[in-house]
């Protein structure tokens, strides 16, 4: 049986410590989206009858993302939105948006975005993924801008991003007639996360 000298044991222990450190660094790239601090938003814009623009948002959502500025190609994000939390600043309109003509929140209580690949660098790029909305899953690409990252005043480490995309409502089974100018709608995501 092979005997290990003191120097060999030191090398083995050093290797184990380095391995553990690398594992810790990898897990440290995961961020929880800061919902409680109200530092993340999912908003939408849609033209109203061709005359004005309706703005709204979803108040209840969550998720996480992975980000490592030394390896931006490994970035990923998963977001889940509670569709009943839609808020267009008008109670009667929101009630209609929750019904079968639009989101049908009783049947489809959540919408999700799960990324598949990030094409970009530390300033921004394209995030491919699958959006599931109104029971329909479709590929969607987000235009991503990296806002910044760094230490916060409470001992944590944060990273923030802005992303936009455009979808056709009919692609997700929502074809209620709002006029031709309202066939598409824009989504804006402002995501700030705290490293776990």
How do 76-82 and 41-48 pair as beta strands? unpaired
Whether residue 119 contacts residue 142, with contact meaning beta carbons closer than 8 Å, is answered with: no
Beta strands, E only, 12-135: 30-33, 41-48, 52-58, 61-66, 76-82, 86-87, 110-120, 124-133
pLDDT confidence band for 8 (50 / 70 / 90): low
Instruction: State which residues form the domain around 158.
Output: 29-195
Residue 47 has pLDDT above 60, yes or no: yes
Residue 80 located in a structural domain: yes
Dist CA 57 CA 19 (whole Å):
43
Residue 7 located in a structural domain: no
CA angle 21, 22, 23 (to 5 degrees): 90
pLDDT confidence band for 35 (50 / 70 / 90): confident
Q: What is the pLDDT of residue 189?
A: 97
Residue 46 located in a structural domain: yes
CATH of the domain at 142: 2.40.128.110
Residue 100 has pLDDT above 70, yes or no: yes
Residue 141 located in a structural domain: yes
Residue 58 has pLDDT above 80, yes or no: yes
Q: What is the pLDDT of residue 5?
A: 59
Q: What is the DSSP string of 140-174?
A: EEEEEEEEEEEE-TTS-EEEEEEEEEEEEGGGGT-
């Amino acid at each position: 049986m092979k005997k290990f000298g003191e120097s060999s044991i030191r090398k083995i222990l050093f290797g184990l410590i380095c391995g553990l450190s690398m594992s810790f660094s990898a897990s440290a790239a995961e961020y929880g989206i800061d919902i409680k601090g109200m530092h993340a938003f999912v908003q939408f814009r849609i033209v109203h009858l061709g005359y004005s623009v309706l703005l709204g948002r979803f108040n209840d959502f969550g998720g996480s993302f992975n980000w490592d500025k030394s390896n931006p190609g490994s970035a990923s994000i998963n977001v889940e939105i509670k569709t009943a939390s839609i808020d267009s600043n008008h109670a009667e309109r929101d009630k209609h948006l929750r019904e079968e003509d639009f989101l049908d929140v009783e049947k489809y209580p959540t919408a999700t975005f799960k990324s598949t690949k990030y094409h970009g660098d530390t300033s921004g790029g394209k995030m491919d993924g699958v959006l599931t909305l109104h029971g329909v899953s479709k590929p969607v690409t987000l235009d991503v801008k990296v806002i910044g990252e760094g230490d916060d005043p409470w001992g944590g480490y944060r990273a923030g991003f802005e992303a936009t995309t455009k979808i056709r409502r009919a692609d997700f089974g929502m074809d209620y007639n709002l006029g031709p100018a309202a066939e598409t709608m824009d989504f804006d995501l402002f995501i700030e996360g705290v490293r776990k």
